[in-house]
Structure 1
Amino acid sequence: MNFGPESISRSGLFFRLLRWRLRYYAAATLKLLLRRWQTWLFASLIFSPASMPLAVQIQAAGTPVRKIVEGGSASYSVAAWLTMSLVAVAWTAVQADALRGGAPWGYLRTLPGIAGLETALDFALLLVADLILMLPFVAYGIALAISGGAVSQNAGLALALAVQWPLLQQLVLRGSPAAAIVAATSLFAVLALCSELGHIVAPVLFVAGPLAALRLRDRGTWGTLLKSGSAWQGSRIGERLPPVLNLATIAILALTQWSQLPTRLALVAYVGALTWFGTAWEAIGFQPHVAAGLLLAGLVPVIFQVAGLELTLRAERSPMCPLLAALGIGEGIQLTADLLVLIGGFCLLGVAPIGTLYPLAGVRVFLIVPVGGVAVGLLSLFYAKADGTRFLPKLAVAVAFWLAVWWAVFDY
C-alpha cells in the first residue's frame, strides 16, 4: 500500500490507515479472546440475567448514567464515575498494544504525513473498541426516548460525558500526563451536576478539559516513570528467612513490575466494579437474592485470573530452576510460596466486594474468603501440574465454589 502524501489525499490516507488499524486490532484482540474465552464465557453468563425482562435490563443498565446526568447523590455519582473511569482505563491497558497498532504502527508513523493523524486515528479506533463500554449510555438514551422526558438537555450531557472516556483512554494510551486534566475536569463536572447550576457549569467543564488536554498532550509522557523493574525498588531478600518466604517475596516482586502494572489494573478495576455493584444493587433495582447470586458469580473471574497468575510466576522463575535445584529447593516449596501469594492476593481483592454482602447475611459472608481461597489454591495446582487450557476442571471448581458459598452463607 502506498501511503505517500503525494499519491493520496489526507482524508483518503486517514481512512486507509483507519481500515488498517481496525484490521490489526481485530486480529490481535481475536487472539486475546481465544486465549481468554473461558473467562469471557463466564462473564457473559454472569451479566446476562435471562429472567429479567428486556425493558428492566435496559433501565438497570442505564441507571448509573441517569443518576450522574440528573444529579442527586454526590457520593453515588462519584462512585459510578470512578468505577466507569477505572474500567475504561483498564480496558485500554489490557489491549494497549493492539490499540496502538503494534510494531508495524511504530514504523508507519515515521513516514511523512502520518504522525499528525495519530490522535484522530486513536480516537476513531477507540470509538469502535469502546462499544461495549458505551452500553450504559445507549441504554440511557433508549430509556429517555421511551419516557419522552427532557431528551435534548439530558441526552446532550450524557453524550458529552460519554466522549470523555475515549479522550481519556487516548491520552493514557500514548502516556500523556494530560489525561489527568480530562479526568479532573470530568470529575468536577460530575460533582457540578449535583448542584443547582450543574447544567450550566458541567457543559463548560466537559468542553474545556479536553481542549486544554489536547493542547498540552505533547509536553511529556509518563514513559520515564513506567520503566522496567519492580515497583518495590530497594526490597531485599532476607538471608535468614526460610526459603518459602524468600520465594514468596520474589513472586510478589515478579507480579508488581512496572511493565505488568497496567494488566493488573484491569483486575483491580473489575473488583472495583463488583464492589460498586455490591453497594448500588438496591438503587439499580435488583432483588437481594439476584444481587447476591450475581456478585458471587462475579467473583468467579477473579478466582480464574488470580489462579492464572501461577503461569506467570512459573515463567518468571524458570531461569532460576537450576539454581533452586542446586540449593535443594524443590517444586513443593516453590508451589507453597506461590499459593501463599495467590491466595493472599485473592483475600485482599475479595474482601471489599464480599463485605458489601454483610447486610444480607451478616458475619457469615466472610466465609466466602476462605472458600474462595481454597478455589484459588485448587486452580493454581491445576495450572502448575496439568494443562491449563482444559475447561471442565475449571468449570467444576467454579460450580463447586458457587454452590458451597450459597449453601454455607445464604441458604437459611
Structure 2
Amino acid sequence: MKVFGLLFWWRMRYFAIATFRLLGRRWQAALFLLFMASPAMMPLIAQLHMLGKPVMSIVEPGHFQRSACLWTLALMLAWGWSALQAGALSGGASWQHLLSLPLAPRLLQQVDLAVLLVTDLPLLLPFCAAEVALLHQGGIQAIPVAAAVAALAGQLSVLQLLAPQSLPRIGYCLVMDFAGLWALSVGASPWLLVAAVLIACLFGLILPVRINRGSGGRLLKPPSCLRLRGRSPAWNVAAIDLRYLFGTPHSVRHLGLLFCIFLPAVLHELLPGTGVTPAASILILCFMLAPLVLRVAGFTFDLQRLHKPMAQFYAASGFSESWLRRVDLFVLQAAFVVFCLPLIAVLYLHTHSWRELGVLPIGMPVLALCIRLNYRSANQALVPKFLLAALACGGLVWWLDAADVAVKTLE
C-alpha cells in the first residue's frame, strides 16, 4: 500500500504540473456554461435534477434506444476527455522509466485507475447530481436506481483504462451494459443492470494485464492526394497540415471532435421523444455550432507546434509567417465546412429549406476571428472566443427565424 500511495502521488503531481493551465481553462468553461444554463432563483435541488436529467434518462425504464444512445455518448465523452489529456495521464519520462522496472502489472493498473478516477471528477458531476436527485425524490425506494447510476459512473474510468490495452474487452463491457439496459427497459430490477456492469468491470480488470511499455506506434500510410509531389508550395503545406492533424495513428484524440460533429444527429433522434417542440429543437441544434467553431480553432496550436521547428527553413525559402498562416486558415476553414455537414443535414430535416446553409457564412468568419485570437493571445482569450461562438449561435438563430418569416410572407 505504501508503494501504491507513493506512485499515485507522483502521478498526480505530474498531472497537476502538466495540466495546470489546461484545467484552469476547462473549469472556467464549465463554470461559464453552468452559470449561463442555471435559471435564476431556481432551488438547488431543482438545478441538481436538471443537471442529472441526462443520467437519469439512461436508467429510465421503457426507453432502451434512448438509454443506449445516451450511455454511448457518455462513454465517447469520457474517452475523448482522457484522450485530450493523454500526455499528462502518461506520467511523463519518469513513469516510462518505472514501466521498464519489474513492477507488478496489477499495481500499475491500480495506480492508473486511481488517477483516472480523480481526473474524471468533472465528468462525474452529472452522476452525483442524479444520485442526489434520486435519493431526494424516492428515498429508500430509489436505492436500486441510485446503485445503477453509481455502477455506470464507476465504469467510465474502467473503460478509459481498457481503451489503450484491449478493445475486445471494451466490446464485452458494452455488450453487458446494453444487456443490462435492455433488461431495465423491459421492467426488470435495476439490480440486474448493477450486476451486468460489475461483471463487465471485473472481467476487464481480472484478465491478464498488458502494460504498454513502449511508445512506438505504427505509422499510417497517407492517401495519395496528400502525398508531397511537384505541386505548389501552398498545396504541399496544406497536405502536411492535414496529415499532421488527421493522419496520426492516435485517432483517439479526435473523439471529442467526433462527438461534436455527430451530436446533432443524435439529438435529432432523441429530442422528439422528450417532448421538445420543433422550435426548441432548432434552437438547441443552433447551439451545436459553438463547440464546432471552438474545436476547429483549437487546431491552431497543433499547427503552430508543427511549423515551429521549420520556422528558419520557411524564412530561408521566402515563405513569410503571414503566408503560412493564410494556408493554415484555408485548411481549417475547409475542415470546418466538412465538419458542419451533419449539422446542416439535421437542420434541413427540421426546416426543409435552403436557409440552413447559413451555418457556413455565419460560422466561417467567427472561426477566422477565433483563429486570430489564438495566434495573438496564446490561448488566453477564452471569454472573447466564447462570446464570439455565442454570437455565431445567436446569428444563426436570427437568420433561421428571419428566413422563416420571409418564407411565410411570400406564401
User: Alignment partner for residue 178 of structure 1, among 165, 169, 174?
Assistant: 169
* Equivalent residue for 2:295, pick from 287, 305, 308: 305
Q: Please, what TM-score do these two structures have when normalized by structure 2?
A: 0.79
RMSD of aligned residue pairs (Cα, Å): 3.8
Report the counterpart of residue 72 of structure 2 in structure 1. Answer: 82
**Match for residue 200 of structure 2?**
209
Alpha-carbon deviations, 1:143-175, whole Å to 9, x = none?
222222631322222222222111111222656
1:118 aligns with 2:108: yes
Q: 1:159-238 residue pairs with structure 2 within 5 A?
A: 159-172=150-163, 178-197=169-188, 199=190, 201-219=192-210, 227=217, 229-230=219-220, 232=222, 236-237=226-227
Query: What per-residue deviation string (whole Å, max 9, x for no partner) do you get for residues 40-62 of structure 1?
Result: 56545555454755444322332
Spell out the pairing of 1:6-405 with structure 2 (5 A cutoff): 11-34=1-24, 39=29, 42-50=32-40, 53-108=43-98, 115-148=105-138, 150-172=141-163, 178-197=169-188, 199=190, 201-219=192-210, 227=217, 229-230=219-220, 232=222, 236-237=226-227, 239=229, 241-258=231-248, 261-273=251-263, 276-277=266-267, 280=270, 296-297=286-287, 299-320=289-310, 334-353=324-343, 355-357=345-347, 363=353, 364-384=355-375, 389-390=380-381, 394=385, 397-398=388-389, 400-405=391-396
Aligned letter for 1:311? Answer: F
Q: Identify the residue that residue 7 of structure 1 maps to in structure 2.
A: none
Conserved? CA contact 1:127–1:166, under 8 Å: yes
Higher helix share: 2
Displacement of 1:397: 3.4
Q: Is the 8 A contact 1:243 1:329 kept in 2?
A: no
What do the CA deviations read for 1:50-103 (whole angstroms, capped 9, x no partner)?
A: 475544432233223323223322221121011100011111111223334333
Instruction: Give the aligned partner of residue 397 of structure 2.
Output: 406
Q: Is the 1:89–1:169 Cα contact (8 Å) retained in structure 2?
A: yes
- Matched letter for residue 405 of structure 1: L
Measured in 2, the distance between the counterparts of 1:147 and 1:393 equals 40
| Structure 1, 376-385 or 138-147: larger mean CA deviation | 376-385
Count of residue pairs the alignment pairs up: 401
**Deviations, residues 283-312 of structure 1 (Å, cap 9, x unaligned):** 667777777666545533432331232232
Identity of aligned residues (%): 29
Post-superposition CA distance 1:108-150 (Å, at most 9, x none): 4556666542222222232222222122222222222222263
Deviations 1:248-269 (A, max 9, x none): 2221101024365333223323
Classify the secondary structure of the residue corresponding to 1:133: helix
Output the CA distance in 2 between the equivalents of 1:67 and 1:304: 28
Distance 1:296 1:33, change over 3 A: farther
- Residue 282 of structure 1, CA deviation: 6.3
Q: Is the 8 A contact 1:167 1:182 kept in 2?
A: no
Task: State the one-letter code of the partner of 1:206.
Answer: V
1:118 and 1:321 map into 2 onto residues whose CA distance is 40
Quick check: 396-405 or 24-33, which moved more?
A: 396-405
The answer as to whether partners of 2:374 and 2:381 remain within 8 angstroms in 1 is: no
Equivalent-residue separation in structure 1 for 2:44 and 2:343 (angstroms): 27
For structure 1, list consecutive stretches of 5 or more residues without a partner in the other structure: 1-10
Q: CA deviation at 1:332?
A: 5.7
Q: Does the 8 Å contact 1:61/1:140 carry over to 2?
A: yes
| Distance in 1 between residues matched to 2:26 and 2:120, nearest whole Å | 18
Asked if structure 1 preserves the Cα contact closer than 8 Å seen for 2:290 and 2:390, the reply is: no
Distance 1:103 1:331, change over 3 A: closer
Specify the alignment match of 1:8 in structure 2. none
Matches of 1:392 and 1:230 in 2, distance apart? Answer: 37
TM-score (norm 1): 0.79
